[in-house]
Amino acid sequence: MNRSELVDQIKTKRSFLCVGLDTDLEKIPKHLLEYDDPIFEFNKRIIDATKDYAVAYKPNIAFYESQGPKGWESLRKTLDYIPENIFTIADAKRGDIGNTSAMYAKTFFDHYNFDSITIAPYMGHDSVEPFKKEGKWTIVLALTSNPGANDFQLLKTESGNRVFEEVIEKNRQWSDPDQLMFVVGATRGELIGEVRKAAPDNFFLVPGVGKQGGSLEDVAKLGMIEDCGLLVNSSRGIIYASNQKDFAEKASEKAAAIQAEMSTLLERFNVC
Amino acid sequence: MNRSELVDQIKTKRSFLCVGLDTDLEKIPKHLLEYDDPIFEFNKRIIDATKDYAVAYKPNIAFYESQGPKGWESLRKTLDYIPENIFTIADAKRGDIGNTSAMYAKTFFDHYNFDSITIAPYMGHDSVEPFKKEGKWTIVLALTSNPGANDFQLLKTESGNRVFEEVIEKNRQWSDPDQLMFVVGATRGELIGEVRKAAPDNFFLVPGVGKQGGSLEDVAKLGMIEDCGLLVNSSRGIIYASNQKDFAEKASEKAAAIQAEMSTLLERFNVC
């Protein structure tokens, strides 16, 4: 999916919500465990319940991988079930030497047909390069939402840049903003504005709203640009809103409430 | 496997060779494609041919993952086939927020019973912490063998440390040297000695000898410590020494030649 198609979806749905599919057998409603593939059954109902409010889905690959070969089948079925006009993100945080990154790209772009993949930048340009592909996006970790972001990402370097700014600057030299997003945690407060300065025209994938404590309004205030430029993720807050038989209904209500807030913000910041 | 067991193996076999199982359907001998599970059949023969010379095997997870669910079955069979007294490394380069890293740890340590996993440190302490487990090792990327290592790992920070030194210093605060290794590329020349200064008692996993151009002698000279402290990896140079019916024999010859050189180095630097 290209940038203008993504922006069209955002304007049509008046939403920049990404729903994280961190599907965990220990957290889904017990009655689903009777099915052959409880993970897919759960995802299917969550997708049906939220697809009018979400412009992106982000399966967290760790959760599928931990189920062994069966988990990868659940992932494939989930991908096949996501409507064509919704953006898909493989939250995999891969990155390795060139020939290995090429293998990861093949897996997620060719075999599973994801629109994008999250990338850990530590190994530099030749670890990112193989993910550059016509019609696909790389989403590079810049400033993450977790406490450990302070350990290395915020270190100041000789140039005056902090490490996350170096990551942004170099990745922007390597890739077109229409195929390159950055992960920016909603929990980073004022720093979101500094990331926006470093990357004025890239989309941000923003985790950390909800359970992790980030504010949607602050994210929009500091990070929103003319064509929105934001995908804000919520995982647990939506998909585990209830663990009873009404889980899909509750997920739908949560997604609708976030979408309503997003609609107001899109209007307030003149996106649509 | 704990440190003294690993060192025993090194002394018994007079080797610190790790064989990288980057098994690729496009590169293995054609006659194996007739089997139900060519990847496992290849690995089995490579293991049989090299197990007397190797103290570790390192499947590169990207190569298995790219084969879909079937690839994960090949990986499991491979792990089951590796002799108990040989150290196993999941070369996965994972790392994510706590609950997700915990899922990755579950996959590789519990389901596949690997002794260790490679970790990308960009997300900091809470992304590494879940991999700390009794009897298991984390292998953190410090200074990698690829050209992109220059992009971020070598940036000098305000403290005077370069980023890779910060990674080493902090990880050493978080983990015991008997459960923490670092990835240090054989291609980094004199820098290997500086990494050794920063991490005087950690094992290093060293890629980059062979196809990538690093020298085994230099690695030993700059990195070897009293109990060896090195696992030097060779992947393509051994497993693809031939793509004909004699591939296992050729792999065995290559591994034996490397082991012979290692034996000399272990003697020269008074390890055994």
Distance CA A197, CA A70 (A): 43
Record: contact B145-A97, CB cut-off 8 A: yes
- Predicted local distance difference test score (pLDDT) of residue B249: 98
Record: contact A152-B70, CB cut-off 8 A: no
- Predicted local distance difference test score (pLDDT) of residue A214: 87
Rounded to the nearest angstrom, the minimum Cα separation between A161 and chain B is: 9
Residues of B in contact with A91 (CB under 8 A): 96
Containing A98, the helix (H) or strand (E) segment is helix A98-105
- Put simply, whether A213 touches B (Cβ < 8 Å) is no
Instruction: Please tell me whether the interface predicted TM-score (ipTM) of this complex is above 0.85.
Output: yes
- Put simply, whether B128 touches A (Cβ < 8 Å) is yes
Q: Where are the domains of chain A?
A: 3-268
Residues of A in contact with B68 (CB under 8 A): 72, 76, 111
Residues of A in contact with B166 (CB under 8 A): 151-152, 155
- Put simply, whether A72 touches B (Cβ < 8 Å) is yes
- Predicted local distance difference test score (pLDDT) of residue B213: 81
| Window 41-70 of B, Cβ < 8 Å to A | 60, 62-63, 65-66, 68-70
One pLDDT digit (tens) per residue for chain A, 272 residues: 999 999 999 999 999 999 999 999 999 999 999 999 999 999 999 999 999 999 999 999 999 999 999 999 999 999 999 999 999 999 999 999 999 999 999 999 999 999 999 999 999 999 999 999 999 999 999 999 999 999 999 999 999 999 999 999 999 999 999 999 999 999 988 899 999 999 999 999 999 887 778 899 999 999 999 999 999 999 999 999 999 999 999 999 999 999 999 999 999 999 99
- Put simply, whether B35 touches A (Cβ < 8 Å) is no
SS3 letters for chain B?
A: CCHHHHHHHHHHHCCCEEEEECCCCCCCCHHHHHCCCHHHHHHHHHHHHHCCCEEEEEEEHHHHHCCCHHHHHHHHHHHHHCCCCCEEEEEEEECCCHHHHHHHHHHHHHHCCCCEEEECCCCCHHHHHHHCCCCCEEEEEEECCCCCHHHHCCCEECCCCEHHHHHHHHHHHHCCCCCEEEEECHHHCCHHHHHHHHCCCCEEEECCECCCCECHHHHHHHHCECCECEEEEECHHHHCCCCCCCHHHHHHHHHHHHHHHHHHHHHHCCCC
Residue of A151, A164, A166, A174 to mutate when probing chain B, most B C-beta within 10 A? A151
Residues of B in contact with A127 (CB under 8 A): 146, 148
Rounded to the nearest angstrom, the minimum Cα separation between B14 and chain A is: 29
The residue ranges of chain B whose pLDDT is under 70 are: none
Distance CA A270, CA B16 (A): 62
**Residue of chain B whose alpha carbon sits nearest to that of A66:** B107
Across the interface, of A111, A127, A163, the residue whose CB is closest to B155 is A163
- Predicted local distance difference test score (pLDDT) of residue B32: 98
- Predicted local distance difference test score (pLDDT) of residue B211: 73
- Put simply, whether B23 touches A (Cβ < 8 Å) is no
Mode of pairing for the β-strands spanning A180-184 and A87-94 = unpaired
- Predicted local distance difference test score (pLDDT) of residue B214: 87
Residues of A in contact with B125 (CB under 8 A): 147-148, 151
Distance CA B107, CA A248 (A): 28
Catalytic positions of B are 93
B207-266 per-position pLDDT tens digit: 988 777 889 999 999 999 999 999 999 999 999 999 999 999 999 999 999 999 999 999
- Predicted local distance difference test score (pLDDT) of residue A210: 75
Assign domain A3-268 to its CATH architecture.
Alpha-Beta Barrel (3.20)
For B203, list phi and psi in degrees, rounded to 5: -70, 145
Catalytic residue from among A51, A58, A93, A254: A93
Record: contact B155-A157, CB cut-off 8 A: yes
- Put simply, whether A234 touches B (Cβ < 8 Å) is no
